[in-house]
Amino acid sequence: MIALSTDGSRLLAAPERLELASASFRELGEPKSVKLLSTVERGGMAYRELEFEFEKAGFLGDFYRTPDGKVQEFLLFAK
């Protein structure tokens, strides 16, 4: 699982960390599709469930956003 939250996003989104993550994702091949599976409101936040398909693997993602537009959490799970 990969997690990104608002409190730690500056640290996790540092250029060095993003470069490490991008190298790992390149190994999965070209992205094939991104699908929105569901959208609901939870505790005042918008929740989205996504499906990501690459040539060599797939992931499910959970995305939480507050009404002010800030991403509070983005999680990726291997399928």
Q: Which residues pair with 50 in a beta bridge?
A: 36, 61
In this predicted structure, the answer to whether residue 7 has a pLDDT above a threshold of 70 is no
Q: Look at 71 and 4; give whichever has higher pLDDT.
A: 71
How is residue 22 annotated by DSSP?
Answer: H
* pLDDT, position 35: 97
CA 69 to chain centre: 15
Which residues are paired to 62 by β-bridges?
A: 49, 75
Per-residue pLDDT tens over the stretch 53-79: 999 999 999 989 889 888 888 888 998
d(CA 25, CA 15): 15
Cβ pair 55, 29 in contact under 8 A: yes
pTM flag (> 0.75): no
Q: What is the pLDDT of residues 11-51, one digit of tens each?
A: 455 677 777 778 888 899 999 999 999 999 978 899 999 99
